[in-house]
Structure 1
């Protein structure tokens, strides 16, 4: 797969034509693909490259990635593809990835099993309950800012310790996608503060440091990585890494971070009052706040920039349900589905979808939740289902915004990002939520934010600088408000009304 120049020719991003000066390289390992981008120091895009991949689901509730083939091999392939078309030397590198994940490894950094992914992997349910009872829910929230859920790393560590004792016997370090790549590139064992703040209950949110006594109780003998901010340089490319990737020896590499927060950097959503809404395999929201703002139904974390904090939420599915429907209908192109759904009225002629096809993370924290399609008649077609799926994710976004509103005033800016930020979907979300969305010129995603962070390591960008150029503002249509308010109320009542029935369906027969 050849690297793709940016639209309009290589080097034609914001600001005009590129040149042969220094380049910045950003690579992101996402749930369903690895993406890389090559830019100049003012954000002009030289080229992009992508490698699609899938998660592994070896058992119900398990979601994994192979760290060698999915993380490292694809990273190397994307880097070499981009270097082949680079108009100048690479001056800095930054990586991001899905998280929080758990990859147990030896003291030398050798992976010991497949990586256990973020909150979509629900294997550690018993460990969540055990740690909450043992450590105390109030104590956990007071220190880490969050209750323990499937998103937390601590219960996953305990799961490995209990269920895979041979793996645990050799485990000395743990990695996520971003810091494994940093380790391979530089030899440094580090983790950024933001990623660490999702390692509940091991990180103190207010003091912004590890909690050694809790780490020892949950995972005795585990070496905790050195903490850095995503804006800081972790190390430089070693000769071995240079040989593997083609990157110049000594190229500075940042500490990296989790993909959604790198994506917030890509669109400048780093100021208090900003809310980033990421359209992807899963839907993600991150609101920048001035101080820790814990909420029992959301995630409270530190931000990308030193001294910043976030209140965040994430759905277990969104684009994944869209893709499921597309494949179910014979691989229908998105353009065809959109053409069929767009003329339909708000509310899809009485159809409501619960998008909980893989359980739900925030604000339900229910890994046993399931999807539902309610209101079907013989008059509904493929376009109705597609529109209802998009509307179902929009209702879930509104649920998140309503939950955030219990603690915070409305966001000052809501910025749409991600590959799924297409016209129909963003318009439905604005109509359902009643909130306008800014759409940036480049919705490449986390890798573009990584390139900006790479510039910090190289001294070619600075904190406070912003590459973002907005090309559209999606404003809600008042004429749709009444229909969507009615359907939203049905959506909110549908989950509690069917929860017990869904759980009965999930019980084994006999």
Structure 2
């Protein structure tokens, strides 16, 4: 019997990655492409859909097939996920009208204020299950409608990154239910459809929103034109996948109520799976595989803050990396390991780009609190790592308040390679943390879900058979005791400084 293969591709903020797996769940090839972000003005953030989303997808699929040494006609399914939420307007011919406004883009503040005036915070939360914030894709669409009227008129459909690729493959305009849920204020989370009331009151044409598909369903098949461009066989099924964070959760088997998966990425996302119908503004709320709800803690600067420190203060480490190949991050970790828990009274508030959950405040500002002449670079670096733990603990306590208990935590993505960072987070959370060193993240989840759709795998839960836990870090009780006291101070900093942060942001 001829072997069959599956491809998964994830388009990220700073790069795109793909995997090719066989019918036994083994990874045969991976490929990564780095890309950047266009920042036309402070607070704006865009991607070129054709160059980044489609061209990188074509390159990745062709390289995956070539590197695996297989025949392209044996690929029987493909899944695509991406950063989200974002707004990518296309015309009737499927051509991008302008760059996509990605999740980091904060320009739609006036649109958020307009929605507050018309509906009020409580009404929008009741409809959408989410807060009012420029992060969500619908407010970005409103910005285009109100500021680029000609582009809005030309728009046939608003897609997001992965569904732009899906359209190029299938010529079907679509969105999955998880991505739709973060297209606030247009998605009605109770009815699981677009809100007529919101669209009408905002004079937004509902026909510009795509059809909604369930996760894991087949949206369409690869067209002849697409096949000629990307090496995938004509007729290959293309599967509806969730945002990259949710597909990362799935890739490590985070499916059961009480499972939490934390992405140590450029931004940090921690998804908590629940069967309870609990919606809270302090989380990003979306539907998940099997119809469950996932509450996501969205931290804007996790890996981004570590990278900022490396770039601005890690010249020596970067030079050593250039000369020897030793990772600058691992060298910084070695220095931080010598610093005691709590960084000798130093606390970082990680709001260096504002913050999403739980405060939803684009004008919040970062803070290095408690500096003395005794403190060193290593103290600041360790305090940055500790800030991730404090932010996560705040979300875990909110979940507990809602009656959602976290039973286990799995660490994924590049930052999780740092054992020190994982230990710090476990010490602060006072919970063990599992780690899977060979996890390939969202692309693996995409490929596996495609395999479920085409009947290679029996159900989504079968992915657990291929997930091997390498290590479980347990909290150090002495360290946890120290962090418990510092966490109380961490919680007090933002409320006490919020007003002055806002004043600073306007200077």
Fold similarity call, TM over 0.5: yes
1:323 aligns with 2:311: no
Task: Count the aligned residue pairs.
Answer: 488
In 1, are the aligned partners of 2:215 and 2:240 still within 8 Å (CA)?
yes
1:3 alignment partner in structure 2: none
1:442 aligns with 2:438: yes
Superposed counterparts of 1:288-299, under 5 Å: 288-299=273-284
Structure with the higher fraction of residues in helix conformation: 2
2:409 alignment partner in structure 1: 414
1:399 aligns with 2:394: yes
SS in 2 for 1:405: helix
Deviation at 1:410, TM superposition (A): 2.3
Normalising by structure 1, we get a TM-score of: 0.92
Q: Greater CA deviation, 431-440 or 376-385?
A: 376-385
Runs of 4+ residues deviating >3 angstroms: none
1:37 aligns with 2:19: yes
Deviation at 1:21, TM superposition (A): 2.1
Structure 1: 5+ residue stretches without partners: 1-18
How many Å separate the matches in 2 of 1:434 and 1:356?
23
1:382 alignment partner in structure 2: 377
SS in 1 for 2:53: helix
1:370 aligns with 2:365: yes
2:503 alignment partner in structure 1: 504
How many Å separate the matches in 1 of 2:200 and 2:158?
14
1:70 aligns with 2:65: no
Deviation at 1:304, TM superposition (A): 2.8
1:465 aligns with 2:450: no
Q: Greater CA deviation, 260-269 or 452-461?
A: 452-461
1:139 aligns with 2:123: yes
Structure 2: 5+ residue stretches without partners: 319-327
How many Å separate the matches in 2 of 1:452 and 1:285?
21
1:245 corresponds to which of 214, 230, 241: 230
Deviation at 1:199, TM superposition (A): 1.1
Q: Greater CA deviation, 187-196 or 289-298?
A: 289-298
Q: RMSD value over aligned CA atoms?
A: 1.7
1:236 alignment partner in structure 2: 221
2:426 corresponds to which of 418, 425, 430: 430
How many Å separate the matches in 2 of 1:390 and 1:473?
19
How many Å separate the matches in 1 of 2:57 and 2:99?
17
2:94 corresponds to which of 99, 109, 114: 109
How many Å separate the matches in 2 of 1:215 and 1:279?
36
1:338 corresponds to which of 312, 333, 336: 333
SS in 1 for 2:458: coil
In 2, are the aligned partners of 1:238 and 1:250 still within 8 Å (CA)?
yes
How many Å separate the matches in 2 of 1:506 and 1:224?
34
In 2, are the aligned partners of 1:106 and 1:170 still within 8 Å (CA)?
yes
1:269 aligns with 2:265: no
1:452 alignment partner in structure 2: 448
Deviation at 1:441, TM superposition (A): 4.2
1:24 aligns with 2:6: yes
SS in 1 for 2:31: strand
In 2, are the aligned partners of 1:293 and 1:300 still within 8 Å (CA)?
no
In 1, are the aligned partners of 2:8 and 2:446 still within 8 Å (CA)?
yes
SS in 1 for 2:164: helix
In 2, are the aligned partners of 1:21 and 1:87 still within 8 Å (CA)?
no
1:6 alignment partner in structure 2: none
How many Å separate the matches in 2 of 1:411 and 1:221?
38
How many Å separate the matches in 2 of 1:260 and 1:304?
13
